[in-house]
Amino acid sequence: MLIRRSVCFALLALLLVNGCKDRQITAYRALKDPAPAAMPPAMASTNAGALPEGHPPIDGRSSSQTQPAPGGMAGTAVPTAGGSGLTWTAPAAWTVKPNGSMRKGSFAIKSDSGEADLSITAFPGATGGLEANLNRWRGQVGLPPQSPTEVTAAVEKFSAHGLDFMLVDYAGGGNRLIGAIVPFGGNSWFFKLMGPDALVAGQKDAFREFLHTVKEPAP
Amino acid sequence: MNAVVRQFRDFFVSLQLTVVLLILSLLLVFVATLDQVNLGIWAVQAKYFRSFFVMWQVPGSNVAIPIFPGGYFIGGMLLTNLICAHVYRFAFNFKKLGIQLAHSGLILLLLGELITGLLQVDNNMRLEEGETKHYSESFRDNELAILDRTNPAYDDVVAIPEAVLADEGTIQHPKLPFVVKVKAYYANATLQMGDPAGRPGAPVATQGIGARVQVLPLALTYKPDERNLPAVFVEIIGPAGSAGTWVVSPVVGMPQTFSFEGHTWELVFRFKRTYHPFALTLLKFSHDKYPGTEIPKNFSSRVRVKSDDGRDDREVLIYMNNPLRHGGFTFYQAGFENNDKVTILQVVGNPGWLLPYIACIMMGLGLVIQFGQSLRGFIRKRTAAAAAP
C-alpha cells in the first residue's frame, strides 16, 4: 500500500513541476556576442553625410548609435542601406531631430495645431516592391489597400538632379502622408512626411521644393 | 485496510477507469485535431495536451472554466491506473511475462512523453559563414534579458520568461540591484514612430526608443509561419526611486542601455536563449543543385565544434539525415538564408529520447511472447487432437 501511495504522489509532484517550468527566471554569465561581421563599415560615415550640408553633427548621438555596438543586438538589427548616401537642404523652419538607428535624416515640422514628422530612410533593394510600400503607407493613414494598378496610377513622377522621384499623397482619419520613393545606388530611399492633415497639406509645396534639393553628394 | 483506502484502490485498479480514460482521450484527440484549423499546432498542443484541463474562456470576461480533462490529466490518470493495477495484481510467473513486458513498455512510453514535455529543448541556431555561437534560440518563446554589460569580457544576464512578464507584476531578483515593474504587456504588438502620449490608456515610456514610438496592440496570430511579437513597458525602480520606463520588444533593433549605480545595463527582448558549454562556427554552407536545374540536391553545413573545456575541437559536416550529436543535443540541417551565406540548424535536446525506442521494443517483444505462447498452445492442442484416434 505504501509503495502504491508513494508512486501516486511522486507522479502528481512530477506533473505539477511542469507548471513552473516556463516561469523560471534564470541568471547566468555569458560571453559577449561577437561584434557583427556583416555591418558595412561605410555606414557611420554615410549617416554623417546624410545631414544637410554644413550642418554640425547632431549631439553625437547618431554617430554613436550607428557604430557597431559592442556585442549587442546587431544580429537582429534591420539592415539599413550601406553605400553612398544622398544629401539635401531643408528649410530653416524645420527642426532637425536625432536620426536614431534607422533614419538617415529626421525633421520635425511644428505649428500651433501640432507637429508633423519627416523621416528619411534607405533600405537595400526594392524592399518588397513599390505597390507593397505604397499600400503600407496607405495603411498608416487608415486607407484600405488598393490593387497594384490602382495604387501605381496615383503616383506622381518627376526627376531632379538625375534622380527619379515617385510622389504620393494620402489623407485619411485626420492625418496626411506625403511620401516619395527614390531608387538610388541599389537602395530604395523613402522620404515620408506625416502628421495632421491641415499642417501636412500646407507643407506640400515646401516638401516638393525640399525634394528638389536632394542630390548625390559631389565627389 | 480501511474502507476508504479500499475504495480508492478499487477505483484506481479498475478496468472501467481505463476504458473511460481511453474514450476521453479519443474525444480529446478528435476535438483538438478539428481545432487546429483555428489555433495552429502549437497552441493546440498547449491548450489540449500539455494542460490538466481544457479551459473555456467565458466570452467578454477574464474567467476561464475547465470544460474537459486535458492531456496531462488523462495521461496521468492512465499512468496511475496502469501502475496501480500492475502493483496490485503483480505476480511474476513465466506465463504472464509477455503481458508484463507489454504493459511495462506502455508505462515507459507514457513516462517518456512526460519527460519530453518537461525537459525537451527545441531550438534553432542561425549562423553566418564565419560566425561562432555559444547559444541556440527558441522558435517561439521570448524572454526579457537584463544584461549587466560593465565587464568587458562577459555579461551577467538575468533572463525573465515572457510568461512572467504577462502577469504584469513586479519582479525582484537577487542579481538585480533594482526592481523591474511590468506596467503593461501586449502579447502581439507593433511599434510605429510617433508621440507616445498620443495613445491614451497605454503607459508612457520615458527612456530609450520608447520615448519616440507608439505601441499598437495586434490580434494574436496562430499561423505557423507568423510570429507574435510581444511588447512590454517596464519601469526600473531603484532604492532612490524610478529610473524611467522603457518599451521593449523584439521589434526594437537597437540596444537600449542605461547606467545604474556605476554599472551599464542593457534591456533586450529576444528569443529565449539556451547557452551551451561548446561553440559552433559555420565554416561553409553548401547548396548543391542538380546540374542545369534549380532543383536542390543537397544542403550541408561544415561546422567546427569546440568545447569550452578544450576536450573537443573538430570539424563536422551536417546534412540531411546526418545530424551532429554533441553534448546531449542534436543539430539538424533545417534551412538557409541570405543567398546561401546563412545556415539554420535545428537544435533538439531531449534527455528522454531513447525511452520511446526502448518502450516500443519492450511492447513488441511482450506481444511476440504473448502471442507466441498462445500459438504454441494452439498448435499443441491441434497436434494432440490430430494424434488422437
Please report whether residue A56 resides in a domain: yes
Are B193 and B247 found together in one domain? yes
Cβ within 8 Å of A, B 254-283 = 254-255, 266, 268, 270, 275
Q: How many residues does chain B have?
A: 389
Are B248 and B311 found together in one domain? no
Task: Determine the structural domain holding residue B83 and report its residue range.
Answer: 3-119+354-387
Shortest CA gap A46–chain B (Å): 18
- Are A53 and A87 within 8 A, CB to CB? yes
Q: What is the pLDDT of residues B222-270, one digit of tens each?
A: 777 777 889 999 999 988 888 888 989 888 767 788 888 888 899 999 9
- Amino acid identity for residue B171 in this structure: I
Are B146 and B269 found together in one domain? yes
Are B128 and B204 found together in one domain? no
Predicted pLDDT of residue A83: 56
Across the interface, whether the CB atoms of B155 and A11 are under 8 A apart is answered: no
Across the interface, whether the CB atoms of B114 and A100 are under 8 A apart is answered: no
Q: What is the pTM of this model?
A: 0.58
Q: What is the pLDDT of residues B118-151, one digit of tens each?
A: 788 889 999 988 889 999 998 888 899 999 988 8
Chain A contact set for B194 (CB, 8 A): 117
Enter the DSSP assignment of A34.
P
Shortest CA gap A145–chain B (Å): 18
Greatest alpha-carbon span in chain A: 91
Across the interface, whether the CB atoms of B164 and A25 are under 8 A apart is answered: yes
Q: What is the pLDDT of residues B330-367, one digit of tens each?
A: 999 988 877 778 899 999 988 888 899 999 999 999 99
Task: Determine the structural domain holding residue A127 and report its residue range.
Answer: 43-212
Are B228 and B302 found together in one domain? no
Are B186 and B268 found together in one domain? yes
Question: Last residue of some domain: B232, B250, B274?
Answer: B274
Please report whether residue A21 resides in a domain: no
Which CATH number covers residue A200?
3.40.1000
Are B214 and B327 found together in one domain? no
Q: At what angle do helices B71-89 and B15-44 cross, to 10 degrees?
A: 150
Please report whether residue A13 resides in a domain: no
> How far is it, in rounded angstroms, from Cα B60 to Cα A74?
42
Please report whether residue A23 resides in a domain: no
Query: Higher pLDDT residue, B225 or A168?
Result: A168
Across the interface, whether the CB atoms of A23 and B132 are under 8 A apart is answered: no
Across the interface, whether the CB atoms of B254 and A4 are under 8 A apart is answered: no
Chain A contact set for B52 (CB, 8 A): 15
Are B263 and B285 found together in one domain? no
Q: Smallest Cα–Cα separation from B268: which of A163, A21, A72?
A: A72
User: Considering chain B, what percentage of its residues have pLDDT values greater than 70?
Assistant: 97
Cβ within 8 Å of A, B 3-22 = 5, 9, 12
Across the interface, whether the CB atoms of A24 and B72 are under 8 A apart is answered: no
Q: Smallest Cα–Cα separation from B360: which of B116, B117, B101, B118?
A: B101
Cβ within 8 Å of A, B 125-144 = 128, 130-132, 134-135, 141
A39 three-class SS = coil
3-state DSSP helix/strand/coil percent for chain A, to nearest 5? 30, 30, 40
- Amino acid identity for residue B296 in this structure: P
- Amino acid identity for residue A100 in this structure: G
Are B269 and B165 found together in one domain? yes
Across the interface, whether the CB atoms of B158 and A31 are under 8 A apart is answered: no
For chain B, what is the domain count?
Answer: 3
Please report whether residue A22 resides in a domain: no
Across the interface, whether the CB atoms of B161 and A22 are under 8 A apart is answered: yes
Inter-chain CB pairs, A–B, below 8 Å: 117
Chain A contact set for B1 (CB, 8 A): 1
What the block records as the C-alpha cell of A155 is 503616383
> How far is it, in rounded angstroms, from Cα B240 to Cα B217?
32
User: Considering chain A, what percentage of its residues have pLDDT values greater than 90?
Assistant: 8
Are B46 and B8 found together in one domain? yes
Q: B97 CB contacts (<8 Å, ≥6 apart)?
A: B366, B369
Query: Higher pLDDT residue, B296 or A4?
Result: B296
Chain B contact set for A12 (CB, 8 A): 76
Are B48 and B111 found together in one domain? yes
ipTM over 0.95 threshold? no
CA atoms within 13 A on the CB side of B362: 18
CB-based contact (8 Å) between A31 and chain B?
Answer: yes
User: Considering chain B, what percentage of its residues have pLDDT values greater than 90?
Assistant: 33
Across the interface, whether the CB atoms of B83 and A34 are under 8 A apart is answered: no
For chain A, what is the domain count?
Answer: 1
CB-based contact (8 Å) between A2 and chain B?
Answer: no
> How far is it, in rounded angstroms, from Cα A79 to Cα B281?
22
Are B339 and B248 found together in one domain? no
Enter the DSSP assignment of A215.
B
Q: CB-CB: which of A14, A26, A38 is closest to B128?
A: A38
